[in-house]
Structure 1
Amino acid sequence: MDAPSLRWMASLLYGAVLLTGLYFVVAGLAPDAGAMSVAVFVAALLALLGVEQLDWRGPTTPRRAIVLLAVRMLLLAAVNAADPGGFARVLYVLMPFFAYLSLGRWAGHVVAAAYLVAAVLRAGSVPDWWADPETVSDLMMFFIGLVLALAAAAFAADQRRSRLRAEQLVSDLRRAQRRVAELSAAAERNRVARDIHDSLGHHLTAISVQLAKAQAFRDRDAAVADRAVADAHRAAGRALREIRESVGVLRAEPFLLAVALGSLAEGLDDPGFRVRLEVSGSESAHDRAGLEALYRVAQEALTNARRHAAADRVEVVLRCGDADAVLEVEDNGRGFAVEAAAGTGLAGMRERLAALGGSVRVESAPGRGTRVVACLPRPAVAR
């Protein structure tokens, strides 16, 4: 039960005391009740009902809480003084409840102690009150009522704190979700940028080189120029396939690394640049992001082998095991000094795999060809 429900219970108590007092007057059980005292009794209880509505709808501030608590105490004193039936005393247990709920635990305990002392002093006006069962019973019931009121206020305060914590958690969660969405968007932009560099950029560069070659040999060697134009045409076809694959990625179509590598090898393979592909194991346990990263590594390595290494034979091996997936791309080109390499996309390959917990190793030396080994661990959730 929350604080608003408990406040409505207080209003019900006001109503019950009001109806009981009026019954006593109508039934003639309070012959000493005058019209003025009855009017004060009714007006004060109606005012208390209005205070509850005002408290429920207004903002909560310490100053406002103190004013409303003081108004309640004054109105309750008026109700008790004019009560024709003598039942209004039960409402005093509500004051510690309101003090606790609006001003804190210490305020509730202070008000409860003050009313308990007042009740004991009032009982002390009765001769030998400690021997009067009715007086002792009234004190005991009043004490129990104060304890229950404080317990109810403590429960309502805990409920309110829990609700505020829950609202704060929801707010924090929404902020976290927005932050994740922003980071995801940034990561996707970076991924798209890498894809453009690793795929379409390479193909466009190859087309430009081949067309320049065709133009240079157009008058000197028509056969060389024709081959260059054919190579440019094949590069344009590969670029078109890459665009279609990127559209497929955006459409969340299935990505099969073995099939993608097959298409890549087929597109690059020609009499002057032989590509052999070997695939073993199942890639089903690996997520799409990891498989795409391995594909980009193969694409980068094959592009470098064709463009920079003067290689005429490349072997691509993909092994998908229980613990990881390993991609090897080895060419018979002229090789290079790895530590002095620049502009070959090695940094991009390493960055792509490192983001997924994988690694890229490049083995090469002048005159000895190049071997690129990419290793990607199997996602933990799939193990």
Structure 2
Amino acid sequence: MSLFWRIFCLNAVGLVIATALLLGPVTVSTPVLPGEALVVVGGLAALLAVNAAVLRIGLAPLTRLAGAMATADLLRPGARPEVAGPAETAGLITTYNAMLDRLAAERAAGAARVLSAQERERHRVARELHDEVGQTLTAVLLQLRRVADRAPAELREEVGQAQEATRAGLDEIRRIARRLRPALLEELGLHSALRSLAAEFTGHGLTVRHDLAADLTPLPGETELVLYRVAQEALTNTARHSGADRAELRLRGDAAGVELLVRDNGRGTAGAIEGAGISGMRERALLVGAGLSVAAAPGGGTDVRLRVPHRADVPPGTPHPDAGAPR
């Protein structure tokens, strides 16, 4: 029943009862007797109380809807408001839920196009760094080696320093190219790429241990890329911001899906503002219907957990049941 008819029927019943009482056993004298005033005031109070109860019950779904609208975040998809209440309220909640689903699908499609273009640009830049800048620095290094063979003794030390600087620059160019384009992921698979990633971040005061299950169900290429990029971004955040000296990279699989965990022993995330890195990880997680949670690790530090379900029919942008849930 609609809210209008609920209130109308309640008021009509109250007025009919009041009229029947006035035409029957209840009368009002002039001047009004104390007993008659008590009956009239009591009836009015009862009518107002019942009206208030009906309005409170009828408007409760709107209050829940307002709360859901205030906390809605497409990067943290969660449960939709329950469709309940009078017809008008139920229709409004249904429309709102449909709007959220449409926005989530459109955002996921847009994010997929953006991230796809980003990956293509990463590959292009990595290829140019390797083929152009890398080859140029290699040629400079070879030329410096020939110069060092013919240079006077007093200049050989300076030429050697130039060689070392050029070699360091070449190594840095190759490292950047590997980060931009994970060739190991394409050529040797996810396990080799994650082991190489752990080795790359081990050093400069950080030790990264890896524990990668070998019996994982074969995953689509897009899912493997999402797992790799999330692990890369999580380790980058650990190295730059956490102050940790130990980190763990863990990959596990079960009948329900695959879980990636990056755990550190740093200062944690208490009071920290979520930056572009975590937002980017959430965007990538939505592409494969995964759930990403960032929470405090047992004993201190941070847990970044990505859960990818084994569901081939998951459309991009579909929220995973664990999305945004604290752990």
Same fold per superposition (TM over 0.5): no
Larger Rg computed on CA atoms: 1
Bigger fraction of residues in helix: 1
TM-score normalized by structure 1? 0.37
Which has the higher relative contact order, 1 or 2, with Cα contacts under 8 A spaced 6 or more apart? 2
